[in-house]
Structure 1
Amino acid sequence: MDKKEMPLRIDEKTEDVLDVLSKHGFATTGMLVDETGYSRPTVSKRLDRLHAAGSIEYLHEPTALWKLIEDPRAEESE
C-alpha cells in the first residue's frame, strides 16, 4: 500500500502537533509533549499516524527527532 493512500484523520491533537512541527520544521517527541501539553502516548500516537501517512520523517532515534516533510492540512484545502 502506498503511504499516500493511507487515510489520515486530523483531529485537534494532531492539529496541535502539526502546528509545532510547521512552526519549527522539526521537533523532538519531548518538545512536542512540552509544547502541546499532551501526554507522551498521545503525542506518540499522532506521530505514528503522521509517519505512516508520509507527512513526517524520523531523523534521529536517540533524541526522537522528527522532521515535517509535507503538511497534510495543505492537501485538504486544495
Structure 2
Amino acid sequence: MSRADTMPPRLTTVDHEILTVLRLECARTQGYLVNRTGRSRQQIHTRLQILAGSQILRAVHYPTALYEMIQDPREDEDEFPLVELNIVDRDGDEIGSEQIKIGPSGIPTSHQYQHYDSSP
C-alpha cells in the first residue's frame, strides 16, 4: 500500500495537541509531550504509535522516544482548533498554560499565556 493509499486517522484532541507542539517546537520526546499536554503517558504513547503508523510522525530515536512530524494532516484546513498546553519548567513542573490557535500557514494566529501564581 502506498503513502497516498494510507487513510489518515480521525484526529483526536490529543492528536491536535501533539501536532501543535511538534509544529511549533520541532522534534520532541514522548516524556516532553506528556508534560506539555498534561495527558497520561499511555494516551501520548498510543497516539504517537497511531500517528507514526499513519506516516504523519516518525520516531527519530527509539531509546528516547523522540518523534518529529513528517507531514501535518491539518494543512488543508482553514484553521486548526484552539489547543491548550501546559507551560513547564525545566523539572517538568507545570507553571502555567497557554492557548494557541494556528493558521494554515503554520503561524500562530492567537496566543494567550497564563502563569500560575506561586506565592502563598
Q: TM-score, normalised by structure 2?
A: 0.59
Alignment-mate amino acid for residue 30 of structure 2? T
1:25 aligns with 2:26: yes
Displacement, 1:7?
Answer: 3.2
Whole-angstrom distance in 1 between the partners of 2:43 and 2:59:
17
Pairing 1:55-74 to 2, within 5 Å after superposition: 55-74=56-75
Count of matched residue positions in the alignment of Structure 1 and Structure 2: 77
The answer for the alignment partner of 1:2 in structure 2 is 2
The answer for the alignment partner of 2:13 in structure 1 is 12
The answer for the alignment partner of 2:41 in structure 1 is 40
Do the aligned partners of 1:6 and 1:52 also contact (CA within 8 Å) in 2?
no
Whole-angstrom distance in 1 between the partners of 2:2 and 2:34:
29
Larger radius of gyration: 2
Alignment-mate amino acid for residue 47 of structure 1? L
Structure with the higher fraction of residues in strand conformation: 2
Structure 1 stretch 27-36 or stretch 54-63: which is displaced more? Answer: 54-63
* Unpaired runs of at least 5, structure 1: none
Identity of aligned residues (%): 35
Structure with the higher fraction of residues in helix conformation: 1
Whole-angstrom distance in 2 between the partners of 1:31 and 1:56:
15
RCO (CA 8 Å, sep 6+): is it higher in 1 or 2?
Answer: 1
Q: In structure 1, the residue corresponding to 2:59 is in which secondary structure?
A: strand
Give RMSD over aligned pairs. Answer: 1.5
